[in-house]
Structure 1
C-alpha cells in the first residue's frame, strides 16, 4: 500500500501540474485568440482526439494490466514478449491511421484541413506512446518528470509566439509537436526493462479479441467527449463551440486529478485477490466521491466571479454552463471506480464496454435534438444526461462483484455535506474587491466547512485521512 500511495501522490502531483499549466495558458489564449478562433481550435483539437483512438487501439488499457501481471508473476522474457508484442498492434494501427487521415485531408480539403495537417504530430504521439508500460510497472515518477519538462517548454513557446488570432497555426503546431516529443522520451529508458524486439505479436487472438471489445467503447466514449464539439459546430457557430468547450475546461482539469486515483489503483486491483479488492474499492470510492463533491461545490460557488476573471468578459454568457458542468466532476470519476478499477482490472471488458456504447448512442441522439435549437446549453444538457445514465449503468452491470451496502454505506453523507457546503458558499457575500482574493478566501472557508462536517458525520474515511496526516508529520 505504501508504493500505491506514493504513486497516487506522484500522479496527483502531475495532474495538478496539468491543472496549473492551463491556469497560465487558457486566460492568455482566450483573450488573444478570442471566442471565434478558440472555437476553431476546439473543433480541430477534439477531432484529433477522436482519431487518436484508432492509433492506440486500446493497447494502453490492455498493456497496463498485462504488464502489471507479467511484472509480478512472469519472467524478464515474458515482459519483453508482452511489451513488443502489444506495441506492434499500436504501431501498425497508428501508421495506417496517419496515412488515411493525411490522404483524405489533402485530397478533399475538408473543413479546417490545413489545421488538421498541423495537428498530425498528435497522431504520431499516440502511435509511439508507451506510457502504459511504465504505468503497468507502477513507475509513475518517470512518467511525471519527463512529461512535466515537455509541458513547461510548450508553455514558454506559447507565451513567446502566440500573440493574435492569426497565430492559431503556431499554437496548434506547438501543442502537437510538444505532445509528440513527450511520447518519444519514454523510449530512452525502455531498454532498461525489456530486451530486443521479438518477431511476433503478443497472444494474437486473445489480444485482438480484447482490442475489439475495448476499442468499441473507446470510440463510443470519444463520441460524447470529443466529437460533441464538432457536432455542435455543425449546428452553431464557432463562438458557441468556444463557450461549450471552455465551460468544461476547469471541470476537465479537476477530473484529471481525481481520475488519477483510478489510473494508479487499476494495476493494483489487477494483481490482488477479491477480498483485498473489496477493501481497496471502498476506500477508492470514498476518496473519489469526497474529492468530486468538494471540488464541485467550490467551483459552483465561485463560477459567477471566475468566468470573467479567468476567461475574460467576452465569455460571460458561458457562466451557467460552467456551473452545471461541474456535476461531471462527481459522475465521471465515480463511474470510473467501477469501470476502470474493477471491470477492466478483472478482465470484464464487455461490462466495461456496454455502458459507454449506450452512452454514445444516447449522446448523439440528444445532440441532434438539442444542439440546433439550444446551442451550447443544449449540448450541455445532452452530455449531463448521458454521463448520468452511463454512471447508473456502470454501477448496475458489475453489481455482482461488490457489496453495495458495504461500499456505499457513507456515500449519501458526502452528498449531504456537499449540499450544505454549497448553500453556505452561495450565500457568502463578496466583501473583498479583488476577485482572486475573494474566491480564494471563499474556497478556503468552504474547504474547512466540508472537512468539519465530515468529522461531525463520523465517516469511516476520516481515519484514513488522520493516518495520512500522521504519516506526513512523522516524515517531516
Structure 2
C-alpha cells in the first residue's frame, strides 16, 4: 500500500504541475493569439489527438496491464520479450500513420494543412511513447520527473517566442517538439530494465485481438473528446471552436488530477484478488466522487468571475459553456472507475468498448443536428448527453462484477454535500474588489463547508482521510 500511495502522490504532483502550466500559458496565449487563431490551434490539435490513437494502437492500456502482470509472475527474459514485442506494434502503426498524414497534407492541401504538418512531432511522440512500461512497473517517479523538466522548457520558450497572432506556428512547433522530446527521454533508462531488442511481436495473435478490441473504443472515445472540435469547425467559425475548447480547459485540467487515481490503481487491481478489488473499487469510487463534486461546485460558483479574469474579456460569451461543462468533472471519473479500474484491469475489453462505441454514435448524431443551429452551445449539449449515456452504460454493463448497494452506499451523500456547498458559493458575496481574492475566499469557504458536512454525515471514507492525515503528521 505504501508504494501505491507514493505512486498516487507522484501522479497527483505531476497532474497538479500539468494544471499549473496552463494557468501560466493559457491566459497569456488566449490574449496574444486571440479567439480566431486559438480556434485554429484547437481544431488542428484535436485532429492530431485523434490520429495519435492509430500510432498507439491501445498499447498504453495493453502494455501497462501486461507489464504489471509479467513483473509479478515471470522473469526478466519475459519482461524483455513483452516490452519489445509490444512496442513493435506501436512502432509500425506510428510509421504508417505519420506517412499517410504527411502525404494527405502535401497532396490534397486540406484545411490547415501547414499547421497539421507542424504537428507531426506529436505523432512521432506517440510512436515512441513507452510511459506505459514504467506505469506497468509502478515506477511513476521517472515518468513525473522527466516530463516535468520538458514541460518547464516549453513554457519558457512560449513566453519568450510567442508574441502575436502571427506566431501561431511557433506555438505549435514548441508544443509538438517538446512533447516529442518528452517521449524520447524514457528511452535513456530502458536498458536498466530490459535486455536488447527481440525478433518478434509479443504473442501476435493474442495481442492483435486485444488491439482490435480496444482500438475501436479508443477511436470512439476520440470522436467525442477530440473530433468534436474539428466537427464544430465544419459548421462554425474558429472563434466558436475557441469558445468551445477553452470552456472545457479548466474541467480537463481537474480531470487530469482525478483520473490519475485510475491510472495508478488499474495495475494494482489487475494483480489483486476479487475480494480486494471490491474494497479498492468502493474506496476509489468514493474518492473520485468526492473530488469530482468538490471541484465541480467550486468551479461552477466562480465561473462568472473566472472567465474574464483568466481568459480575458473577449471570452465572456463562453461563460455559460464553462459553467455546464463542469458536470464532466463528476461524470467522467465515476465512469472511469468501472471502465479503467475494473473492466480493463480484468481483461473485460468488450465491456470497456461497448459504452464508448455507443457514445461515439450518439455524439456524431447529436453534433450534426445541434452544431449547425446552436454552435458551441449545441456542441456542449451533445457532449454532456454523450458523457451521461457512457456513464450509465459503464455502470450497467459490469453490474455482475460488483455489489451495487455496497459500492454506491455513500455516493448520494456526496451529491447532497456538493449541492449544499454550491448553494453557499452562489450566495457568498463578493466583498473584495480583487476578483482573484474573491474567488480564493469563496473557494476556501466552500472547501471548509464540504469537509465539515462530510464529517457530520460520518461517511466511511472519512476514516480513510483521518488515517491518511495521521500518517502524514506522524511522518512529519
Q: What TM-score do the two structures reach when normalised by structure 2? A: 1.00
Deviation at 1:119, TM superposition (A): 0.4
Task: Quote the Cα distance in structure 2 between the aligned partners of 1:9 and 1:326.
Answer: 24
| 1:195 Cα deviation from its structure 2 partner | 0.4
Deviation at 1:362, TM superposition (A): 0.2
Which residue of structure 1 aligns with residue 309 of structure 2?
309
Q: Partners in 2 of 1:274 and 1:385 — Cα distance?
A: 33
Distance 1:27 1:74 in 2: 49
- Determine the C-alpha separation between the residues in 2 that align with 1:196 and 1:241: 46
| CA–CA separation in structure 2 for the residues paired with 1:383 and 1:74 | 43
Q: Classify the secondary structure of the residue corresponding to 1:351.
A: helix
In structure 1, C-alpha distance between the alignment counterparts of 2:218 and 2:112, rounded to whole Å = 25
Quote the residue 2:62 is aligned against.
62
Kindly state the Cα deviation for residue 2 of structure 1 after the two structures are TM-superposed.
1.1
State the Cα deviation string for residues 323-376 of structure 1 (Å, max 9, x = none): 000000000010000000000000000000000000000000000000010000
- Mapped partners of 1:426, 1:319: distance in 2: 15
* 1:346 counterpart SS class: coil
Question: Partner of 1:7 in structure 2?
Answer: 7
Please give the alpha-carbon distance, in whole angstroms, between the structure 2 residues aligned to 1:253 and 1:269.
Answer: 25
1:173 aligns with 2:198: no
Q: Counterparts in 2 of 1:3-152, with a 5 A limit?
A: 3-152=3-152
Q: Which residue does the alignment assign to 1:452?
A: 452
Q: CA deviation at 1:288?
A: 0.2
Deviation at 1:473, TM superposition (A): 0.3
Separation in structure 1 between the aligned mates of residue 315 and residue 475 of structure 2, nearest angstrom: 45
Deviation at 1:255, TM superposition (A): 0.2
Q: Specify the alignment match of 1:222 in structure 2.
A: 222
Match of 1:415 in 2: 415
Where do residues 320-339 of structure 1 align in structure 2 (5 Å cutoff)?
Answer: 320-339=320-339
CA distance in 2 between counterparts of 1:351 and 1:225 reads 20
SS where residue 424 of structure 2 aligns? helix
Q: Matched residues in 1 for 2:447 and 2:372: separation? A: 39
Separation (CA, whole Å) in 1 of partners of 2:47 and 2:368: 18
* Structure 2: unaligned runs, 5 residues or longer: none
Equivalent-residue separation in structure 2 for 1:43 and 1:405 (angstroms): 43
Supply the distance in 2 between the matched residues of 1:393 and 1:356 (Cα, whole angstroms).
Answer: 9
Residue number in structure 2 paired with 1:269: 269
1:226 deviates by 0.2
Partner secondary structure for residue 331 of structure 1: helix
Q: For 1:227-281, what per-residue CA distance to the aligned partner results, in whole angstroms no more than 9, with x for missing partners?
A: 0000000000000000000000000000000000000000000000100000000
The aligned residue for residue 439 of structure 2 is 439
Deviation at 1:180, TM superposition (A): 0.1
Matched residue, 2:288: 288
The count of corresponding residues between Structure 1 and Structure 2 is 476
Specify the alignment match of 1:380 in structure 2: 380
Stretches of 4+ moved more than 2 A in 1? none
What is the DSSP-based 3-state SS (H/G/I as helix, E as strand, rest coil) of the residue aligned with 1:338?
A: helix
Match of 1:158 in 2: 158
Match of 2:369 in 1: 369
Question: Are residue 238 (structure 1) and residue 241 (structure 2) matched?
Answer: no
Partners of 1:21 and 1:259 lie apart in 2 by 18
Aligned mates of 1:334, 1:106 — CA distance in 2: 43
Aligned equivalents of 2:432, 2:364: Cα separation in 1: 44
CA deviation map 1:396-452 (0-9, x unaligned)? 000000010000000000000000000110011111100001100000000000000
1:165-215 per-residue CA deviation (whole Å, 9 max, x = no partner) reads: 000000000000000000000000000000000001100000000000000
- Taking the aligned partners of 1:475 and 1:273, their CA distance within structure 2 comes to 30
Deviations 1:377-414 (A, max 9, x none): 00000000000000000000000000100000000000
Q: Equivalent residue for 1:191? A: 191
CA distance in structure 2 between the partners assigned to 1:406 and 1:24 by the alignment: 42
Supply the distance in 2 between the matched residues of 1:368 and 1:423 (Cα, whole angstroms). Answer: 35
SS of 2:389's equivalent in the other structure is helix
Match of 1:403 in 2: 403
- CA displacement 1:8-40 (0-9 Å, x = unmatched): 010010000000000000000000000011000
Matches of 1:203 and 1:189, distance apart in 2: 25
Partner of 1:424: 424
SS of residue in 1 equivalent to 2:431: coil
Q: CA deviation at 1:467?
A: 0.5
Structure 1 residue ranges without an equivalent (≥5): none
Q: Normalising by structure 1, what TM-score?
A: 1.00
How far apart, CA to CA, are the structure 2 residues paired with 1:284 and 1:414? 14
Match of 1:343 in 2: 343
**RMSD over aligned Cα, in angstroms?**
0.3
- Where 1:430 maps in the other structure, the secondary structure is coil
- Which residue pairs with 2:260 in the alignment? 260
Distance 2:363 2:126 in 1: 25
CA distance in structure 1 between the aligned counterparts of 2:443 and 2:421, rounded to whole angstroms: 10
